[in-house]
Structure 1
Amino acid sequence: MTCKAVNLHITGMIQGVGFRPFVYNLARYWGIKGWVSNTARGVDIRAEGLPASLDAFIAALKSQAPPLAVVDTIAVNHCKPGGYTDFAIKPSGNSEVKTALVSPDVATCPACREELLNPADRRYHYPFINCTNCGPRFSIIQDIPYDRRATTMQQFTMCPDCQAEYDNPANRRFHAQPNACPACGPGYRLVDTNGRQVAVRDQDVFAVAKSLLAEGAILAIKGLGGYHLAVNAKEEAAVKRLRTRKLREAKPFAVMAGSLAAVKLQCNVDTKEEALLTSQARPIVLVKKGADYHLADSLAPGNPYVGVMLPYTPAHYLLLDEEDMVVMTSGNVSDEPIAYQDKDAFERLSIIADYFLLHNRDIHCRTEDSVVRVVKEEPYFIRRSRGYVPAPVRLAQPLPPVLAVGGELKNTFCLTRGRQAFISCHIGDLANLSTYHSYIEAINHFKKLLALSPEVVACDLHPEYLSTKYALTLGLPIIPVQHHHAHIAAVMAEHHLTEPVIGLAFDGTGYGEDGTLWGGEFLVADLKGYRRSGHLGYLRLPGGENAIREPWRLALWLLKEIYGQDFINLNLPFIRQLPAGWELLLTAAEKGVNAPLADGAGRIFDAAAALLGVRQVITYEGQAAIELEQAAQGANGRVLPYDIVSKNGQLILDYKPLFAGLCHALQQETAISQLAADFHITLAAAACEVARKISQATGIKKVALSGGVFQNITFLTQVVGMLMQHDLIVYLHRQTPANDGGLSLGQAVIAGERSR
């Protein structure tokens, strides 16, 4: 029978995941001759063989691909046979157009973990063990194609044994770019804050580090995408000391457990949460504390949930015994970017850590841990970063090249290429100068990896956002996008929605087109435009941004709005505890001095928290609302009064009757937990009624929920349930966070649609 020949071009997540050795072995199985090669655009294959074998080979390329591979497209071009007599892996080709996808970093696979813990293996206790199925990818890559010379492993020359594995198509480490062993690869060392070595041999390093953690020491640990700060999670004094040094007063810490069994001793873990914890991405997963939870009280104070993760590098397995629980939090002072370069880490973390556990493999791209929880049986991102980035979000339609620069808080940026949207790792709050510099470096790195030259730039409407100011320096056409429209468009992009939806965009603050601060929006939106169909009633922010940090100011203004000057006669603990100077603050706000109008749903939650005595001053973003949700746990809420009025063609949700109801109940000494639950259910019922009215007027049945307020799972669940009861179809974020971490995706698709 006559042989046939084809040239195949394959795209997807197919570099650094063992795809070429898979192709090689598959070709040998089917008797295919030719070659396979990485290119900057993907993987190219020349295949020659009998027609039936060739068809089976092509079909298996997708159906039997390696676990980490994602095959998007296989282009088949028939050609004349070239008379190949074997099948080979050719050196990577270069191309002017780089479109190959880069794999996220992948947790240590079971086979490597078994070798790591096997005393007879030559890589026994070697903290950089990896293979084509696991190990560093995105954090070490400098350019594509993904070859060793284009990674931070280029400085380590493989020994003969490692080189033999690397060259052997039958070996699990065939073309594993970070391949190394104790004889030729990077290593760890343990030093004090003056740089003096405490231990240098890998076995000694981790044994000593373990003992230091057991004694209550704080360790700065260089990991996969940056430094962590680690301390024994069972030692209250040690955790408190870390809080003091890190300047992190109350925000919960994440914990790394030595095993899933250790997590289950402390927490209630369902099957969906277990699947996330053990997935190759190994995110931090928010799980509920169990009846036998006994970690340090100050780890996640007052919070029924704790963020836990499992080891994802060989070093973690060497550092933790199976029963261990160790705080593993970002290596930074609060609000700064995570440290990932050694010199910077020593400069910034020596005031926090007692010792440094570090290695000599460079991290090229800093990458924080991802944070996820399970909502409605599916993952719901709080932060999308390590393990997921830079895998793209697939779009419904191709877009021109867009750079979307994101917002100011929880920043990410996004680059589009055809039907792919590449969202960056979590950057952080750009108001911090070092974070801003990190942001610019990351944008340049992404543009290089993706070989993208954006044609337009999308930014927020807010003129004072540093991301907006950065966009203005690029010399490209700029498309400003309203903050809350971007939130809703991000949900639409994830679910491939192109028709109009009703969007509930609830967050703290976003710049509105009328010059006020929005954040409680009911939009009718598509991917090009929107109409503001409704919003929460406006509230003044006495003292401007200080009202965000001190929610008691918001509650004070609301009481004055509801009761006039007579509010002072109410028998409320809140009034008796007002700080000195509140009268002057109120007078200034009445005159409109430094008291902008805002309708942010987040501010309403803050005001309720302050009025109920839950939280008067915050130390981190969202703290008051988070503690208000915690206060509501275990109580069944009752729907209190509220009003919906029509004004200038918009529906205005008036929540002042709700606050009046809370005040009345407070004077009756109703339990705070009951009132916190009442607040949640009432605002949810009111929001759903507005959405239903808009649906009745427009005929639109699809509703998208976005904004940081929808990270309040109590409120989210109530809103979703009520909307579904009225036959509305609800869409949530599933690939990006509901907070501003997902904003850049929405900006990108809106700008792309407008610039077609």
Structure 2
Amino acid sequence: MTAPVTRAVRRRVTVCGTVQGVGFRPFVHRLATDLALTGFVSNTASGVLIEVEGPPDGVARFCDRLATEPPPLAAVTGVGVEDLPVTGVDDAFTIRSTDRSPGRTLLPPDTATCADCLRELTDPADRRHRHPFVTCTHCGPRFTIATGMPYDRAVTTMSGFPMCPACAREYGDPGDRRFHAQPVACPDCGPRLRLVPAPGSGVRPARDADALAAARALLAAGRIVAVKGLGGYHLACDATDARAVDALRARKARGGKPFAVMCADLDAVRRIAVLSAAETTALTGPRRPIVLLRGREPDGGLRLAPGVCPGSPHLGVLLPYTPVHTLLFGLPGDPPGPRVLVMTSGNRSGEPIVTDDAEALTRLAGLADAWLAHDRPIASPCDDSLLRVRGDGTEQVLRRSRGYVPRPLRLPVPVRPALAVGGDLKNALCLGVGDQAWFGPHIGDMGDLATLDAARRAESQLRSLTGVSPELVAADRHPGYHSLRWARRRAAHLSGRAPVCVQHHHAHIASAMAEHGLDGTAPVIGVAFDGTGYGDDGTVWGGEILLADYTGYRRFAHLAPAPLPGGDAGVANPCRLALARLWAAGVRWDPDLPCVAACAPEELTVLDRQLTRGLACVATSGMGRLFDAVSSLVGVCHRAGYEAQAALELEAAAASAWDADASAYAFGIASGTCDPAPVLRALVADLRRGTPSSVLAARFHRGVARAVVDLCRRARRAAGPTAVALSGGVFANALLEEECTALLADDGFTVLRHGEVPPNDGGLALGQLVVAAHERQKE
């Protein structure tokens, strides 16, 4: 008896998501070949297009496994399937060239060197042994080298490096993990390293392996080297060499701001920091961010210089994420070098990170003793990302850049094509259309022409890679912001209409709502705590309890305001903020108070005149400014050399006494106002009793958390919401955020905390985007 013939079927499959530059086509080819199917796969501007033909059960298994077994760096967001007539014309399954029809696909972020490439890098028998640019479809640069889409070598900065025959064979072999890996190269055809000495440094130029060896020797000798990475230059020095660290701090005019350090391996990390399992996962994952860790007593002779992170409760640590970094630390048999390096952004304070080689030689002149450069251009600047791991193992991203950008976020509400420009601090742009939003890389503070130019380039690159042509522009309401002025120019050019101006703290809360997938049909209680945000009454807000959705907000309660003497000059002098808060609370400036003792008599006289007459003073309800004031009042920090220094050092003091004292100060809460005057009076009284500053700091943190819960209870009784969104830069404070979360959860609230979107102004643009979309819907 003849067996029945199984009829073939043919299907067209469209795969959307991050499916280019990640080895998706060879994965599809192997899957179809294993299942004995015919057809083809091709990249398109919208993703990956597949036509597959064969027995029905084989085609069904193929479609199922596409979404469940993708390559490591792929992120499938949608699979569409359409039945087609059977053709019978395909003899095998093939990979076709890229279809350049219009559409949109997703480019993966840059990722750390994978284990396979590291094995080749360290294997003397491999042809890529010690190759500083070893990469494959599972790792390496993507976003920072891409100049357009669809993602092919011709639209990357690797287009100027023709492949040698060996690399071309790998690139064209569907069975090779370097099949269509656009950055693929080897020592015969790839980029080249060079060491460029500073004039008069006495250092000799070098190339390739000699350049790496010379750079390692310079670092071991206490010199400062500018190292070109994936998204820009770093300034590196031996983190255990106090003279080198102090020299770098002085040259960069960094004040007391902590440096991040790069450790050669996990063993080195464990010798300088306490490391949990979740923190290990964050450190070693493909994104390789800077992770904030708790420092530990030196172990095995590895002692960081005091100037690495003075006064900080955390140590920022990252691991090597490029072959250049790995080789800089050295392979077995190399002369020894430092095991921990300071690795800070290659720029002068306040400027964007340097990416161009010629520009690096001028902008970093006087900072570096030598440059370890290479000739692969960087298309998009991209600073290191920064995060902390909470006690429950969840991550809070504080700077979203390399490793995350340009991965999209799914929006809970549809938006028209729009550009949100963020704020003036920690600036990051956001493009959105439909149900997707793309953050650009961290840009920094919009204070000079170089940063504005970086923002313009970031927008252009993001538009090129996403295909989004904005129809509206959103910005912060602050009339003095550089970002608002830029937004007006962009809006006039793009649509001829004014930008949608979104209140700062409303944007913070909307950002948290959007990250958590809320559609905005029900309001939330928004706790927006930061240092500065333009308020509806023209004063500086920042201690806000809002009832908010995407369409609007109501200011339910706020921190009682106090004068901010001297604007930015006041922020840089926490002792003045403390005196202003004492003045507002009716507490005398007695000489025994640390904040009084920190000021010269003439300074006290001028400040008293300012406050009495209201000269050069603006009212502020900023919770960040209250943290600064308390930091000085208890004797922790009187003069700030960088943003949030006083608050960070207050958090460090509180952490040291957190388990020793569980009491809390009580705020005065009435008529929508949270008054810190009772807290200030209690702090003064405890100071005079000789209570340690660490205990005072812990009691203050707990007092703020209890005030948050009290205010949220009142908002729930008055308006009904049971969800609380915590947002704003103050919630980068681990002690405060985790204490607020625990107390609110115990009281029956649903707590919305930031994860992948920063709580500070780096996440502001996402909130602007969704609020602006609703604003324009009203028109």
- TM bracket (short chain): over 0.9
1:211 aligned onto 2:217: yes
1:276 aligned onto 2:301: no
The whole-number CA distance in structure 2 between the counterparts of 1:403 and 1:146 is 23
Once structures 1 and 2 are overlaid, which stretch shifts more, 658-667 or 189-198? 189-198
Map of 2:184 onto structure 1: 179
Amino acid at match of 2:437: A
DSSP 3-state at the match of 1:678: helix
In the alignment, is the contact (CA less than 8 A) between 1:12 and 1:72 conserved in 2?
A: yes
The whole-number CA distance in structure 1 between the counterparts of 2:31 and 2:282 is 31
Map of 1:324 onto structure 2: 339
DSSP 3-state at the match of 1:46: strand
The whole-number CA distance in structure 1 between the counterparts of 2:143 and 2:598 is 52
Amino acid at match of 1:706: S
Map of 1:731 onto structure 2: 752
The 5 Å alignment of 1:139-288 reads: 139-194=144-199, 198-288=204-294
Give how far 1:590 is off. 2.2
Map of 1:754 onto structure 2: 775
Superposed CA RMSD: 1.4
The whole-number CA distance in structure 2 between the counterparts of 1:362 and 1:754 is 41
Residue-by-residue CA offset, 1:79-105 (whole Å, 9 max, x unaligned): 1123211211111111223x1001100
The whole-number CA distance in structure 2 between the counterparts of 1:695 and 1:727 is 11
Map of 1:603 onto structure 2: 625
The whole-number CA distance in structure 2 between the counterparts of 1:286 and 1:446 is 28
DSSP 3-state at the match of 2:617: coil
Q: 1:302 to 1:48 in 2, by over 3 A?
A: same
Counterpart among 332, 336, 339 of residue 351 in structure 2: 336
Amino acid at match of 2:460: N
1:34 aligned onto 2:66: no
Residue-by-residue CA offset, 1:528-549 (whole Å, 9 max, x unaligned): 1111111000110112221111
The 5 Å alignment of 1:417-432 reads: 417-432=433-448
The whole-number CA distance in structure 1 between the counterparts of 2:295 and 2:448 is 33
In the alignment, is the contact (CA less than 8 A) between 2:22 and 2:108 conserved in 1?
A: yes
Give how far 1:199 is off. 4.8
Map of 1:112 onto structure 2: 117
Map of 1:449 onto structure 2: 465
In the alignment, is the contact (CA less than 8 A) between 1:637 and 1:679 conserved in 2?
A: no
| Runs of 5+ consecutive residues of structure 1 not aligned to the other structure | none
1:556 aligned onto 2:579: yes
Structure 2 length as normaliser, TM-score?
0.94
Residue-by-residue CA offset, 1:279-314 (whole Å, 9 max, x unaligned): 000000011112326211110113242111111111
The whole-number CA distance in structure 2 between the counterparts of 1:533 and 1:419 is 31
In the alignment, is the contact (CA less than 8 A) between 2:575 and 2:596 conserved in 1?
A: no
The whole-number CA distance in structure 2 between the counterparts of 1:59 and 1:506 is 46
Give how far 1:679 is off. 1.2
The whole-number CA distance in structure 2 between the counterparts of 1:642 and 1:371 is 33
The whole-number CA distance in structure 2 between the counterparts of 1:519 and 1:667 is 30
DSSP 3-state at the match of 2:343: strand
Map of 1:379 onto structure 2: 395
In the alignment, is the contact (CA less than 8 A) between 2:313 and 2:649 conserved in 1?
A: no
1:362 aligned onto 2:377: yes
Map of 1:702 onto structure 2: 723
The whole-number CA distance in structure 2 between the counterparts of 1:562 and 1:447 is 51
In the alignment, is the contact (CA less than 8 A) between 1:165 and 1:171 conserved in 2?
A: yes
The 5 Å alignment of 1:489-504 reads: 489-497=510-518, 498=520, 499-504=522-527
1:645 aligned onto 2:670: yes
The whole-number CA distance in structure 2 between the counterparts of 1:724 and 1:73 is 35
Amino acid at match of 2:384: D
DSSP 3-state at the match of 1:43: strand
In the alignment, is the contact (CA less than 8 A) between 1:547 and 1:553 conserved in 2?
A: yes
The whole-number CA distance in structure 1 between the counterparts of 2:443 and 2:421 is 11
Residue-by-residue CA offset, 1:538-588 (whole Å, 9 max, x unaligned): 110112221111121121122222336xx1446424323322232222222
The whole-number CA distance in structure 2 between the counterparts of 1:557 and 1:752 is 40
Residue-by-residue CA offset, 1:310-341 (whole Å, 9 max, x unaligned): 11111111011487111111001111111000
Amino acid at match of 2:666: P
Give how far 1:428 is off. 0.2
The whole-number CA distance in structure 2 between the counterparts of 1:467 and 1:730 is 31
In the alignment, is the contact (CA less than 8 A) between 1:105 and 1:387 conserved in 2?
A: yes
In the alignment, is the contact (CA less than 8 A) between 1:190 and 1:197 conserved in 2?
A: no
In the alignment, is the contact (CA less than 8 A) between 1:543 and 1:589 conserved in 2?
A: no
Amino acid at match of 2:71: P
DSSP 3-state at the match of 1:124: coil
Amino acid at match of 1:694: A
The whole-number CA distance in structure 1 between the counterparts of 2:344 and 2:459 is 25
Amino acid at match of 1:594: A
The 5 Å alignment of 1:440-479 reads: 440-474=456-490, 475=492, 476=495, 477=497, 478-479=499-500
Map of 2:97 onto structure 1: 91
Identity within the alignment, %: 45
In the alignment, is the contact (CA less than 8 A) between 2:42 and 2:96 conserved in 1?
A: yes
| Runs of 5+ consecutive residues of structure 2 not aligned to the other structure | 1-5, 332-337
Amino acid at match of 1:641: A
